[in-house]
Amino acid sequence: MKELKGKKIVITGASSGIGERIAYEVARAGAVPILVARRTEKLKEIAESIEKESGNRCYAFPLDVSNEHEVERVFKEIYKQVDNIDVLINNAGFGIFKSFEETTVAEVKSMFEVNVFGLVACTKAVLPMMRQRNEGQVINIASLAGKIATPKSSAYAGTKHAVLALTNALRMELANTNIQVTAINPGPIKTSFFDIADQSGNYVKNVGRFILDPEKVARKIVATIGTSKREVQLPVWMGLGPKIYALFPNLFEKIVGKKLSQK
């Protein structure tokens, strides 16, 4: 973790959940967290708490990543205040677990605007400077849902499929540079994500024993900073699912389909 000391790390969706925990982890490692999220007061509270705990400077910038023009404005301000960005962690995102027929077009659009277009806008905001310096890292928090689409999460899975495709293509485009591009594919995590995604509580109840500890997930994500890892599956054993699905899709859907429908 020594190599993180002094690194400037932007974390989107940093006002709660995994984003908040990542911010504390990088600060403990001596890095400078730059928090980005919509909730101004919550961001301020977290920044003050991190500075008190770690003794490091922590920046906070209110931003709705789905607003392209605001992304441009805020990232220009970030560069004015911190000179450079070493790592961008695209963590902002949300899901709504409903059947395709129940999900409105507006809900689908809103998920794509945050999960995909927000990620695109933030990445485009940092790439020119990373190119100029020929160093940096972009870490995109995708999901195992991006590997295996499941019932009642068609739109959410669609956004994460898109994130993985963008991540893989960008990695290849930057192959001849010192800019690393990493995808993180976690399974379900015990955070406030499910307050919106799973309002019935059925999904959390049915997958309770598989839900990941957010602190451990945050530590795993932070451990990828400065590495050349292309993709990380969390937990590792869940990464077997997509491989089996790719080889035997019909059999996988017949056997596992009912379990995946429990939302």
Measured distance CA(120)–CA(112) in Å, rounded: 11
Residue 73 has a CB neighbour count (10 Å cut-off) of 14
The verdict on whether 156 is a catalytic residue reads yes
Strand-pair partners of 9: 33, 87
What is the SS3 assignment for 8-32? EEEEECCCCHHHHHHHHHHHHCCCE
Residue 159 has a CB neighbour count (10 Å cut-off) of 25
H helical segments located in the chain = 17-28, 40-54, 68-82, 105-112, 119-133, 154-173, 193-197, 202-206, 214-223, 240-247, 249-260
Given 24, 59, 79, 156, the catalytic residue:
156
* Amino acid letter, residue 26: V
Helix (H) / strand (E) element for 184: namely strand 179-186
Output the CA torsion sign for 40, 41, 45, 46.
Answer: negative
The Cα-based distances of 133 to 78, 86, 93, 138, 157 in angstroms read 17, 10, 29, 14, 34
Provide the annotated active-site residues.
156
